[in-house]
Amino acid sequence: MKYAVIIVAAGSGTRMKLGYNKVYARLQDGRTLLEHTMDVFMQDEDCTELVIATDGTEYLHEITWRMPGRIVLVQGGSTRQGSVYNALLAVKEDTVFVHDGARPYLRADELNLLKETMETEDAALLCVPCKDTVKRIENGYIKETYVRDTLRCAQTPQAFRTALLTECIEKAMAEGFIGTDDCSLVERFSDVPVRAVEGSYTNIKITTPEDLAK
């Protein structure tokens, strides 16, 4: 199955305390975090297009990959949702995956499982069972304890028919709604069910300096 991937890499990375976009932090091998994130898609022949939502000048300064047509740079938006929408306008495939630029440990087998799922589904995401008990708090007091067996922690990639995600984002923009992730837009603005695909706990998002040591 051919698909495009949007890699959202326009954040400032405030919690990393680097003073610059964390996706351009260099790991021990000298390569940037973003390059590590791109690797699994670059090695997949089914991925025909990598649309990177980021500052183009910074990308061209930090990364040497130049593959016109396959790697497409688009300007990030003021929000993650805005960055995804800007990138969607450049997507040519009917199926699009959306992945965090700071999530470099996605494995090929996880990606392949998501691709297989999208052969029959219109929307899907990788997720893992919650390890901790989750409680709802109001005014500092516990109001409810959720049944852990029914809870999952969302990861990326999240996968969609391109037209579906575009339509849902446009409806969200018209309403002024900002979703917590891309799937939440499909949940709110369509009747399309989102298929949960079990991922792995190694597929972490780099958020703090401590994450780089894992």
Q: 182 - beta bridge partners?
A: none
Indicate the residue type of 151: L
Q: What does the alpha-carbon distance between residue 135 and residue 146 come to, in Å, rounded to a whole number?
A: 6
Closest CA to 7 of 29, 63, 30, 18: 63
Q: What is the pTM of this model?
A: 0.93
The residue segments making up the domain with residue 72 are 3-213
Contacts of 25 (CB under 8 A, 6+ apart): 13, 16, 18, 32, 33, 212
In the numeric block, the tokens 């089914």 are attached to: 46
Q: Count of domains in the chain?
A: 1
pLDDT tens digits, 93-112: 999 999 999 999 999 999 99
Q: What is the DSSP-derived secondary structure letter of residue 202? A: T
pLDDT tens digits, 188-199: 999 999 999 999
- What's 85's domain CATH number? 3.90.550.10
